[in-house]
């Protein structure tokens, strides 16, 4: 039976959607017809992106909150549900990283990455998942990383957190399948974003990265768009607990 990738009438809550991967995914889902809850820690950035999304022809709600703060998550989710009536799609994208040797990592650095990349992902899923459970339907897309699958130098907490996100995806998929909530993950490789800019400014590092990518280029946020739209659409209705790796071939070696 053919399906049409049309997300009209759906609402997508995208964390960290004012820049980088999250921004690209928010635009992609809006282009497919979904209304978007635009989020970051800064209201002015959310409003700016909402202006862009409304220009596509869909509705957008700016909501500033911090994924590290559970109360903040609950307030943000309640605002979105009150405005749109429901949240159909959650994209857990907000993330951070620290570049540091394992022997030099501080507790504060460890906690910052874990609180954002692992704890924040779970509590966003839990809070918004409860609304989905009430309706017996929902799609959750967690943005993990290839470095949750393979190791990488000097970003140990990031690797640990993203590996945790992949396992969280599997466990939630099992627990929530009875509610018709499908939970999947996308694992990007190196994507050209502001978060990676400092690493990529070093010419030697940049060349080393490209040598590990068979496609010989960095990914772009739009390279993830088709996967996100697929996972948000009816086309993925028999898929849950899975991880889609989009890395230009890095992990094929």
So what's the pLDDT on residue 5? 84
Domain assignment present for residue 251? The answer is: no
> Which tokens go with 111?
């906690």
Q: pLDDT tens-digit profile of 126-170?
A: 999 999 999 999 999 999 999 999 999 999 999 999 999 999 999
So what's the pLDDT on residue 195? 75
> Which tokens go with 224?
């993830």
So what's the pLDDT on residue 88? 99
For the cut 50, the answer to whether the pLDDT of residue 39 exceeds it is yes
Domain assignment present for residue 230? The answer is: yes
Angle between helices 120-135 and 70-84 (to 10 degrees): 30
For the cut 50, the answer to whether the pLDDT of residue 1 exceeds it is no
Q: What is the CATH number of the domain that holds 144?
A: 3.40.50.720
For the cut 90, the answer to whether the pLDDT of residue 197 exceeds it is no
Domain assignment present for residue 196? The answer is: no
Domain assignment present for residue 23? The answer is: yes
For the cut 50, the answer to whether the pLDDT of residue 210 exceeds it is yes
**Rounded average pLDDT over 189-198:** 83
Task: Tell me the CA distances in angstroms from 144 to 20, 88, 161, 165, 224, one per residue in order.
Answer: 14, 20, 9, 6, 12
Give catalytic status of residue 3 as yes or no. Answer: no
pLDDT band at 201 (very low <50, low <70, confident <90, very high): confident
Domain assignment present for residue 15? The answer is: yes
Domain assignment present for residue 215? The answer is: no
Residue-range definition of the domain harbouring residue 90: 11-189+221-245
Domain assignment present for residue 227? The answer is: yes
Average pLDDT, the chain: 96
Closest CA to 66 of 116, 12, 21: 116
For the cut 50, the answer to whether the pLDDT of residue 101 exceeds it is yes
Mapped onto helix, strand or coil, the DSSP state of residue 93 is: coil
So what's the pLDDT on residue 194? 77
Residue among 23, 83, 158, 206 flagged as catalytic: 158
So what's the pLDDT on residue 4? 62
Domain count, the chain: 1
Q: pLDDT tens-digit profile of 63-87?
A: 999 999 999 999 999 999 999 999 9
The DSSP bridge partners found for residue 184 are 141
81 membership: H or E segment, kind and range: helix 70-84
In sign, the C-alpha dihedral spanning 122, 18, 205, 188 is positive
Contacts of 169 (CB under 8 A, 6+ apart): 142, 144, 183, 184, 185, 241, 242, 243
**2/70 Cα distance (integer angstroms):** 40
Q: What is the DSSP string of 157-200?
A: HHHHHHHHHHHHHHHHHHHHGGGTEEEEEEEE-SB-SGGGHHHH
Domain assignment present for residue 252? The answer is: no
pLDDT band at 107 (very low <50, low <70, confident <90, very high): very high
């Amino acid at each position: 039976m053919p399906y049409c990738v049309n997300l009209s009438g759906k609402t997508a809550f995208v964390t960290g959607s004012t820049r980088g991967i999250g921004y690209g995914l928010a635009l992609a889902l809006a282009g497919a017809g979904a209304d978007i809850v635009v989020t970051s820690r800064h209201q002015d950035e959310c409003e700016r992106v909402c202006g862009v999304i409304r220009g596509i022809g869909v509705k957008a709600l700016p909501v500033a909150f911090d994924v590290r703060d559970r109360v903040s998550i609950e307030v943000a989710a309640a605002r979105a549900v009150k405005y749109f009536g429901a949240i159909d799609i959650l994209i857990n994208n907000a993330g951070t990283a620290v570049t540091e040797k394992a022997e030099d990592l501080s507790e504060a650095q460890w906690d910052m990455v874990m609180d954002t990349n692992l704890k924040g992902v779970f509590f966003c899923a839990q809070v918004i998942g409860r609304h989905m459970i009430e309706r017996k339907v929902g799609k959750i897309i967690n943005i993990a990383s290839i470095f949750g699958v393979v190791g990488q130098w000097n970003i140990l907490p990031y690797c640990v957190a993203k590996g945790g996100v992949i396992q969280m995806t599997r466990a939630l998929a099992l627990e929530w399948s009875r509610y018709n909530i499908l939970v999947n993950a996308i694992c990007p490789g190196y994507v050209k974003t502001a978060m990676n800019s400092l690493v990529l400014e070093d010419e030697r590092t940049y060349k080393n990265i490209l040598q590990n990518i068979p496609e010989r280029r960095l990914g772009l946020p739009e390279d993830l768009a088709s996967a996100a739209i697929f996972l948000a659409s009816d086309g993925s209705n028999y898929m849950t607990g899975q991880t889609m790796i989009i890395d230009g071939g890095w992990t094929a070696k």
